[in-house]
Amino acid sequence: MNTISIGLLGLGTVGSGVVKIIENHQDKIMHQVGCPVKVKTILVKNVHKERDVNVSDIQLTTNPEDILNDADIDVVIEVMGGIEETKDILIKALQNKKQVVTANKDLMAVYGAKLLQTAAQNNCDLFYEASVAGGIPILRGLVDGLASDRIIKLMGIVNGTTNFILTKMSQQGRSYEDVLLEAQELGFAESDPTSDVEGLDAARKMTILATLGFSMNISLDDVKVQGISNVTDEDIQYGKQLGYTMKLIGIAQRQDEKVEVSVQPTFLVDTHPLASVHNEYNAVYVYGEAVGETMFYGPGAGSLPTATAVVSDLVNVLKNMRLGVNGKGTVTPQFKKKLKEPDQMFSKYFLRLQVVDEVGVFAEITSIFSQHGVSFEKILQLPVKEKGLAEIVVVTHHASLLNYENILLKLRDLGSVKEVKSSYRVEGGTK
């Protein structure tokens, strides 16, 4: 092979990292693929903008056609973001027989199946390792490292912004609003943090993980999503008293060929490995029938960690080019999607109630749980500043979501319950 030419879509944080790694690691890349690799053209919004990376010998353009129609460009790397327009560009790249690497989780969560089908039809690779958990090789781990196993559960911290916020709230006793402001000042959170803090970013990543892990076409609409904006310091402190750490957890699990996927604030027992994943770090816990429990841990974002995953995908593309097997590795989902119903989803729950401080109130509450066959694992009862009221915190044993939601409805109708203050899933500990 002669020099491999790359067309790069986007020169932001990750794009700049890709250019730096290809330049600085050229010897290692050449050793693996057998020829030089060069970024030939980059799509940017403004060709005259000052850059913190050397692009003096690279053509800059504002027209994607300059990349899509260039016969010399073998691989298109997409790190510019966006969904609809980006989808159209990548479909054309694949139709023009160009290999594609993307870091775009939003795109893959919505149009991944269509893009992979287009890649297969054109004998092209489409790799997207960097779309989930930055520099952690979790997708390759599922597809290659655990290819012979049957994945039964994926559970992870896949959003660095929310993990940073919850870590600071837990360790420093600060409010959500206060820590969010710091996260924005440090660049961990966007000026509009909705996608991160309301769980949408994590949901997109869990869609990708569940699709690969379970070999089913899971869509974003299948993911039950709850963000962290209503988590209070009081919730976190009560959890601490009971031996729990609060994290935004994505969970995908399979049982009897049916699956459930969710993203929600979750109390983990302090001894769970994910409980010790702090700040902007990500980690994904994988349960396989044969391998048992494994955990993938590392930086979930950032220029160089994410760019490392992109260039690793590029190296795999180039190895496939050398072997003449591009597009041969695409595996369509094996199983038809079957989602669990609420009576088939089981978990433990943390529930915090503000109640009238009178004799018999706790017996009333206990009776409602008993009617639905749900028992308590832990109980806290505490007075509150407001006279005549008390707070009750309970952690249930495993209960179906259907039963638990019916219990919540009855509690809200109970005269002695002034307010259901909060409710969270609980993971780990005894059954």
Q: How many CA atoms lie less than 13 Å away from 368 in the CB half-sphere? A: 20
Closest CA relative to residue 206, chosen from 255, 260, 273? 260
Query: How far apart, in whole angstroms, are the C-alpha atoms of residue 400 and residue 255?
Result: 14
What contacts 12, CB < 8 A, 6 or more positions away? 79, 80
Class of residue 163 by CB neighbours under 10 A (exposed 0-12, middle 13-18, buried 19+): buried
Give kind and range of the element (H or E) at residue 106: helix 105-121
Query: How far apart, in whole angstroms, are the C-alpha atoms of residue 73 and residue 78?
Result: 14
Q: Which segments of 272-360 does DSSP mark as H helices, in order?
A: 303-323
Class of residue 307 by CB neighbours under 10 A (exposed 0-12, middle 13-18, buried 19+): buried
Query: How far apart, in whole angstroms, are the C-alpha atoms of residue 19 and residue 58?
Result: 10
Q: Is 240 a catalytic residue?
A: no
Q: Decide if 134 contacts 296 (C-beta within 8 A).
A: no
Q: How many CA atoms lie less than 13 Å away from 330 in the CB half-sphere? A: 22
The one catalytic residue in 205, 247, 340, 348 is: 205
Residue at token pair 């693929």: 33
What contacts 423, CB < 8 A, 6 or more positions away? 349, 350, 351, 352, 408
Q: Decide if 233 contacts 239 (C-beta within 8 A).
A: no
Integer CA distances (angstroms), 292 to 140, 154, 252, in order: 18, 12, 16
What contacts 350, CB < 8 A, 6 or more positions away? 238, 239, 242, 244, 267, 393, 394, 395, 422, 423, 424, 425, 426
CA angle 36–39–41, rounded 5-degree value? 145
> Which of helix, strand or coil describes residue 287?
strand
Q: Using only C-alpha atoms, what is the Rg of the chain?
A: 24
**Catalytically annotated residues:** 205
